[in-house]
A and B are shown apart, each in its own frame.
Chain A
Amino acid sequence: MTTIYKKSKGLQNNELHYCPGCGHGIIHKLIAEVMVEMDAVGTTIGVCPVGCSVFAGNYFACDMVEAAHGRAPAVATAIKRTHPNQPVFTYQGDGDLASIGAAEIVHAAMRGEKFTTIFVNNAIYGMTGGQMAPTTLIGQRATTAPSGRTKEQAGMPMRVAEMLATLDGLVYAERVCVTDIPHLNKAKKAIKRAFEKQMAGEGFTFVEILASCPTNWGMDTLEANKWLMENMASYYPLGVIKETEVR
C-alpha cells in the first residue's frame, strides 16, 4: 500500500485542541509543510500568541517561544536579530495582532524586521468566547457587540495588511483564505513566498489568512465558510497586497 497523505514532519504528533471547522489546524499544516519543503524544521524558530493558538508550541515541530499578548513581533525581532540566518515566524490572531499588539506589529514592519508574520483573521476573539475584534465586520454580532458592530460605537474594521503595506519595511503582504482546496493551495504558496523572501533578507513579510470560527460565529462549518466568502472576502480582498522587487 502506498501512503499518499500523512501528517507533516513539521508537526508534532499531538492532537489539536481546536474547535471543529476552525482554520488553525489547516494553517498549522500549511506552515509545517513549507518548513519541511524548505528543509527548515531544524532551524526555524516560531513565536506563538495569546489566543486560540497559544498552544502552537505543542504542535509545530520546530523550536517555539510563547509571547505575551500582542508582543510576538517584539519577541521575534530579537530572536531574528540574534539568529539572522534562521527562519523566524510569528503566528498571531486578530485580537493579538490588530488590537493589543498593534504597536508591536507596526514597528516591526516599519523596521523591516526579517521575519514572517502569519496573521489569522477570523473577525472575532476566539479563545475568550466571541468578543468583538478590531476586524469584526459592521453588523457582525459579538458578545460585546450584541446588536452587531456599528461604525459609530466601534469604528470601522481594520484592514491590517493594507495598513502595514504603507510601511517601507514590509516587502510582501498577501491575503488568502483556507475555505477550499484551491484557496488552501494559494495560501500555502503565499506562506512559502513569505518565508523565501524573509530568507533572502528582503524585509518583513506578512500573510493574512481569513479563517472561519464556526463556534463563535454560531454557524456550522459549511455555513461559516460560505459566510466568510460572502462577507469577509468582500471587505478584506484576497490577493497580493504588496510585493516589492528584490532590492
Chain B
Amino acid sequence: MKREIWKGSEAIAEAAIRAGCRGFFGYPITPQNEIPEYMSHKMPQAGGVFVQAESEVAAINMVYGASSSGIRAMTSSSSPGVSLKQEGISYMVGAQLPAVIVNVMRGGPGLGSIQPAQGDYFQATRGGGNGDYRTPVLAPANLQETVDLMQEAFDIADQYRIPVMFLADGLIGQMMEPIVWNEHQQRTLSEKTWAASGRGDRAHNNFITSLFIDASSCEAENANLSAKYAEIEKNECRWEELLLEDAEVVLVAYGTPARIAQTVAEKLRKQGIKAGVFRPITLWPFPYSRLKEIAAMDSTKIFLDIEMSTGQMLDDVNLAVAERKPVRFYGRSGGMIPTVAEVEKAARDAYREVK
C-alpha cells in the first residue's frame, strides 16, 4: 500500500470526508485551523456543505441542523472552543443526533496556551454540558490510527445516534507522519428514517427534540439513553497493550504520552526492568475491566499514569485498580510535553518503591 506523508489536522479532515462526512461547520481556533481550511476547499468538491460559523456555539448548532436533516456532519475545535460547544453537545445527545466533534486539545484552563495538552479529559468523558449524558470518546495516538478511527467515529455515531468526541492533542494535529489510506468496511447501519428531511408521504411528521417537559417522560428518556450507554460500554471499548504479559511497572497513558511511554518501556526493558504500556483508545467507555485484570496479575507491581494534564485520567485508573496495586502519577500541563527522560525517571522511582 502507498504510504503518504500527511499533517495531522489535514489527515483528520480528509479521513472525515472519506468516511462520508458531508457537512462541516467550524470556527477558527489554534491549533486545528488546518481542519476548517482543508474542509473549505475539499468539502464542496465532495458535494458537501462547508460553513464558517460566527462562533463555536453556532457551529455546533449547524452540526445539529445538518445531522437532523440526515447527513454525516462534524465540527472541529480546540479546548476553549469545545467549552462553547458543550451546550450543543448536550442537546445532540438529548435529541439522539449523530455527529463527530474533533477536539485538538491545548493548554488550559481558560485561554491557556496553544501548545498540546490533555486537560479536557474530564470535559470529554464526564460531559461539560447539562444533564445525565455520555459521549463516546476516541483518542488516537498516531496519524495512522487517527485516519483509521475516523470511519469508526462516524459509524459509532450513526449506529447509536450519539455525538462522538474525537479527542486528539495538539501534537496529533500538528505532526506529520506517513499514513496508508486503508479501505474501511462501513458498519451495516439502518436508514435514517428519523431524520427531519421533509415529511414526504410519511403518515407522521418527524420532530427532533430533546424536550421532555413532563418529569416522568424525561426520566423515561434518561432510562432509554442509559440503556444505550450500557450497549456502547459493552460493545465499543478499545485499548492497546504493549509488553504487558510479565510487566512489573505498568505505564498507563493515552494519545501522545502513550508514545513516550512506549519508548520508555522499551528502554527500561533493555535495562532489565519489566515495563509495559496500557493505552486506552476509548476514554469513554474506559477499559476498566481489562485494567482491573492487569491489576490482579501477580506480575504487576505498580502503575504509573502519565498525562499532559494534572491527573484527570488518573481518576479512572484509580477506579479500575481499586487499590489492588499502588498507582503513581507523572504529568505536565499547560502545554508542556513530558520528556522521555522525565517519564523514565518517574518509572524508575515507581519501580524502586516495589523492588
Contact = CB atoms under 8 A, between A and B. Distances in A.
A77 B207 contact: no
Given A75-B62, A79-B196, A65 B88 contact: no
Given A63-B199, A64-B196, A103-B58, A79 B66 contact: yes
Nearest to A69: B87
Interface string A37-55: 0000111110100000011
B36 interface: no
B82 interface: no
Contact of A79 (B69, B88, B201, B211): B69
Interface stretch (B48-56, B256-264, B340-348): B48-56
A79 B61 CA distance: 10
A223 to B, nearest CB: 30
Contacts of B198: 42-45, 62-63, 83, 86
A81 B49 contact: yes
B71 A12 contact: no
Contacts of B197: 45, 63, 82-83, 86
B73 interface: yes
A240 interface: no
- Chain A, interface size category, equals 35 or more
Interface string A86-118: 100000000000000001101100010000000
Nearest to B87: A68
A84 B244 CA distance: 54
B68 A71 contact: no
B88 A71 contact: yes
A107 B58 contact: yes
Interface string B9-30: 0000000000000110100000
A71 B57 contact: yes
A57 interface: yes
A142 interface: no
Given A57-B205, A64-B205, A71-B58, A78 B63 contact: yes
Contacts of B58: 71, 74, 77, 103-104, 107
B210 interface: yes
A96 to B, nearest CB: 13
A78 B73 contact: yes
Contacts of A54: 211
Contact of B211 (A12, A43, A66): A66
B65 A76 contact: yes
Contacts of A64: 196, 205-209
Nearest to A40: B198
B61 A71 contact: yes
Contact of B70 (A47, A55, A60, A82): A82
A111 B197 CA distance: 22
A65 B205 contact: no
A224 interface: no
Contacts of B205: 12, 57, 60-64
A67 interface: yes
Give the interface centre of B49, B53, B54, B211 by most chain A CB atoms within 10 Å.
Answer: B54
A58 interface: yes
Contacts of B53: 74, 107
Given A66-B95, A82-B23, A103-B54, A77 B62 contact: yes
A106 B53 CA distance: 12
A216 to B, nearest CB: 19
A54 B64 CA distance: 17
Contacts of B209: 57, 64-66
A78 B54 contact: no
B284 interface: no
Contacts of B49: 78, 81-82
13 contacts: A44-B198, A57-B208, A63-B197, A64-B205, A65-B65, A68-B91, A74-B58, A78-B25, A78-B65, A81-B23, A82-B71, A82-B197, A104-B57
Given A57-B208, A62-B205, A74-B59, 12 more contacts: A45-B198, A47-B65, A61-B199, A63-B197, A65-B207, A67-B64, A68-B64, A78-B65, A78-B69, A82-B22, A104-B57, A107-B53
